[in-house]
């Protein structure tokens, strides 16, 4: 079968940079899937994207769909003919709908019986007829939250469309896509080559755009070019560029022909906290800061131009003019904010609403103080530090610097607290309270910071759940999922042995009684356990391992973590599968027992050697594992309990549990209950799958 490469390019106004890669990959994946669904199996699919284009190149697309046998199932054979063997009305109607006589129909045998059937061959359509419709479907499926219209057209897309290129082999595919007639022409760089460029065939697309159009359409190549240029520019400035992956990705999506240009600023600005300067450069201007080998900022930056200028000095001067007012603002805010102590802003917190039903930031600060000091007391942290840090924790939100640069909340609190002479740990805690800020972020380093971070998140969780606004579906306006996961990570990874369920009650105590009446603390605890489930599944724990521990409802996340690690280690033992199956059998037996099970088995009622051996093994191991359970050495405890496999297997082979003798039966049930309870001190291993 003849095959040709397929190339599709949608030329637009500048696309949203943060969504560019996702749009390109979605376009590729949708087309790849749709072609296969329509029996056009093909080779590799490549996604390309630049600010003004989305493109897909798919190799070895068949020129026609293969012919297919189509089987239409008719009425059941029993209903197709009467007692004389003549076709019934359903059979005749089915034959007529197929355009044949009943005699020309076949029979179809299935697991549900025999049926009349009509087999025909559906001739494959040419690919050029199929592809345009698939492209339209793929474009409509792009993850675009809000589409726009332009001109007087009813067409909608993420940005206005100016051209559509569609080639199958060397021939254009005749179609109208998004209101534009497709052809073989693309366009080059807006400034270097803002003209039409004819593409001869799909395989030449990338190189033609680069050589003639001055467009690097391959995002990965463009990203690598930017990275190489920025690193070289940093070295030329006597330092190294600070390259954040997210910024690198965003800049890659902003330019078609990247050219690195360096710039400088007045060294006096280095007196301002580095984070404020970095925020001005990275977040607001998309510049790459430059630092020395010790990580200290240098008065330089690197920007990526989208043009190979004939006068790069003019571009450099323009960027230096743009960044100077931002740095002047940062320096002004820094100097002005320090004229008032952080603690002096606390009263103003009462004038700022946190949430309409939950009061002001001042109210929240008081609740955080209550929770943080309780945590510090339980863990033996410095209570005075916790109280002081909580009293200051939201004050920097009222500073000019944080008003202008909200991403610096906490960071500026640390700087201002240090300037005010607060204890180092108190100052650090003001920054630590917001960590982790995002998935995979570092956790608070200081004990006070850990207490404050937990208290802040817990207050928000309890408050929002109390007013009946928990997350629903994809909507989580208060970031409660992130807050819950942050608490769990701190408790587990910082080895803080706290009772989470009790912490929820402590936090609830800070709200008015009328508000907390509607709080379902168990629902909130369950919500956090669901976040914990996701946390462990991402670490490649199995769902049934998590379920085995969750069945015991540990209230302390650190204890949960220790139990889960023990279950994973137990599962690797050769005895685990047999003991898990035995525990499942025991649970079923105990569940179905119609009589109350005695508290302990009676040694005197043990008759069979197998039950005597099992009882002896249980008694011996109870002495061994009891201190292990007390020390939460669950891994070693389960390893010791693995020795029960042989006596348990022998017991079930040789002993009839449900004896006609009531006393023997109840005693054997009690023995199995004793066995089950040993394992249940760690987890319900009956939930482990084979």
Q: What is the mean pLDDT of residues 472-480?
A: 88
**Nearest of 299, 333, 456 to residue 393 by alpha carbon:** 456
For residue 242, the 8-state DSSP code is: -
pTM for the whole structure: 0.82
CA distance 629 to 635: 10
Write the CA distances from 69 to 66, 109, 121, 123, 124, integer angstroms.
10, 16, 4, 9, 10
CA atoms within 13 Å, Cβ hemisphere of 254: 17
At residue 247, does pLDDT exceed 70? yes
Q: In CATH, what class is 342-540?
A: mainly alpha
Assigned CATH topology for domain 575-687: Isoleucyl-tRNA Synthetase; Domain 1 (1.10.730)
Residue-wise pLDDT for 415-430, tens only, equals: 999 999 999 999 999 9
Q: What is the mean pLDDT of residues 662-666?
A: 84
For 213, other C-beta atoms within 10 Å of its C-beta total: 22
pLDDT at 67: 85
> Comparing 616 with 666, which gets the higher pLDDT?
616
Residue 230 tokens read as 């920025």
Residue-wise pLDDT for 283-337, tens only, equals: 989 999 999 999 999 999 999 999 999 899 999 999 999 999 999 999 999 999 9
At residue 146, does pLDDT exceed 70? yes
> Comparing 603 with 380, which gets the higher pLDDT?
380
CA distance 367 to 511: 8
At residue 595, does pLDDT exceed 80? no
- Tokens 């001869």 appear where? 200
Least confident of 44-58, 351-365, 452-466, 652-666: 652-666
Angle at which helices 609-630 and 662-680 cross, to 10°: 30
CA distance 45 to 130: 18
**Nearest of 396, 395, 372 to residue 453 by alpha carbon:** 372
At residue 17, does pLDDT exceed 70? yes
- Bridge partners of 261, per DSSP, are 303
Domain residue limits, the chain: 3-65+126-211, 68-121, 219-337, 342-540, 575-687
Query: Is 342-540's fold the same as 575-687's?
Result: no
pLDDT at 655: 83
Q: What is the mean pLDDT of residues 558-565?
A: 97
Write the CA distances from 689 to 501, 542, 545, 591, integer angstroms.
29, 10, 9, 19
CA distance 519 to 521: 6
CA distance 426 to 158: 48
CA distance 194 to 487: 53
Read off the pLDDT band of 414 (50, 70, 90): very high
């Amino acid at each position: 079968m003849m095959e040709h490469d397929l190339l599709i390019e949608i030329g637009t106004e500048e696309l949203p940079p943060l969504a560019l890669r996702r749009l390109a990959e979605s376009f590729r994946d949708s087309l790849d899937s749709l072609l296969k669904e329509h029996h056009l199996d093909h080779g590799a699919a490549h996604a390309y994207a630049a600010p003004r284009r989305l493109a897909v190149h798919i190799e070895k697309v068949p020129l026609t769909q293969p012919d297919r046998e189509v089987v239409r199932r008719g009425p059941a054979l029993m209903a197709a003919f009467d007692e004389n063997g003549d076709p019934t009305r359903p059979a005749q109607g089915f034959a007529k709908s197929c355009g044949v006589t009943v005699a020309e129909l076949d029979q179809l045998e299935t697991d549900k019986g025999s049926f009349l059937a009509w087999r025909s061959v559906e001739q494959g359509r040419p690919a050029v007829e199929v592809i345009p419709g698939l492209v339209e479907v793929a474009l409509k499926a792009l993850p675009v939250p809000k589409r726009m219209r332009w001109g007087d057209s009813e067409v909608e897309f993420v940005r206005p469309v100016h051209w559509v290129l569609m080639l199958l082999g060397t021939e254009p595919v005749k179609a109208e896509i998004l209101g534009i007639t497709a052809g073989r022409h693309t366009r080059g760089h807006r400034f270097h080559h803002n003209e039409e460029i004819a593409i001869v065939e799909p395989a030449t697309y990338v190189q033609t755009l680069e050589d003639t159009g001055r467009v690097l359409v391959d995002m990965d190549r463009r990203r690598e070019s930017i990275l190489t240029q920025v690193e070289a520019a940093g070295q030329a400035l006597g330092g190294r560029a600070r390259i954040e992956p997210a910024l690198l990705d965003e800049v890659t999506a902003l330019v078609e022909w990247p050219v690195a240009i360096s710039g400088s600023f007045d060294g006096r600005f280095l007196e301002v906290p580095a984070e404020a300067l970095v925020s001005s450069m990275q977040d607001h201007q998309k510049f790459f800061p430059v630092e020395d080998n010790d990580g200290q900022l240098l008065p330089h930056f690197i920007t990526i131009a989208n043009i190979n200028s004939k006068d790069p000095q003019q571009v450099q001067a323009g960027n230096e003019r743009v960044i100077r007012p931002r740095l002047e603002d940062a320096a002004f805010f820094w100097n002005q904010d320090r004229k008032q102590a952080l603690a002096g802003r606390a009263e103003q917190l009462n004038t700022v609403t946190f949430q309409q039903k939950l009061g002001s930031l001042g109210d929240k600060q008081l609740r955080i103080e209550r929770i943080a000091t309780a945590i510090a007391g339980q863990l033996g942290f410095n209570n005075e530090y916790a109280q002081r840090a909580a009293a200051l924790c939201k004050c920097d939100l009222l500073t000019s610097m944080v008003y202008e640069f909200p991403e610096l909340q906490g960071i500026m609190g640390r700087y201002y607290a240090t300037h005010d002479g607060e204890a180092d740990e108190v100052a650090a805690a003001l920054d630590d309270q917001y960590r982790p800020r995002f998935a995979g972020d570092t956790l608070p380093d200081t004990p006070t910071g850990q207490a404050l971070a937990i208290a802040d998140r817990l207050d928000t969780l309890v408050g929002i759940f109390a007013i009946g606004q928990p997350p629903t579906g994809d909507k989580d306006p208060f970031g409660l999922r992130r807050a819950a996961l942050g608490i769990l990570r701190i408790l587990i990874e910082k080895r803080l042995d706290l009772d989470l369920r009790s912490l929820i009650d402590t936090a609830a105590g800070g709200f008015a009684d009328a508000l907390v009446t509607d709080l379902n603390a168990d629902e909130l605890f369950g919500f956090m356990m669901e976040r914990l489930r996701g946390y462990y599944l991402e670490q490649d724990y199995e769902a049934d391992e998590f379920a085995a521990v969750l069945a015991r409802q540990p209230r302390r996340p650190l204890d949960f973590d220790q139990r889960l690690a023990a279950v994973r280690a137990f599962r690797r033992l050769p005895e685990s599968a047999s003991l898990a199956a035995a525990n499942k059998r025991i649970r079923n037996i105990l569940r179905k027992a119609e009589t109350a099970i005695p508290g302990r088995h009676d040694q005197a009622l043990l008759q069979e050697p197998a039950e005597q051996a099992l009882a002896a093994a249980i008694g011996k191991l109870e002495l061994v594992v009891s201190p292990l359970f007390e020390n939460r050495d669950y891994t070693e405890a389960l390893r010791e309990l693995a020795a029960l496999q042989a006596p348990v297997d022998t017991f079930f082979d040789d002993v009839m549990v449900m004896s006609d003798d009531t006393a023997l039966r109840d005693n054997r049930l009690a023995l199995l209950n004793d066995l089950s309870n040993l394992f249940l001190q760690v987890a319900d291993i009956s939930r482990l799958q084979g």
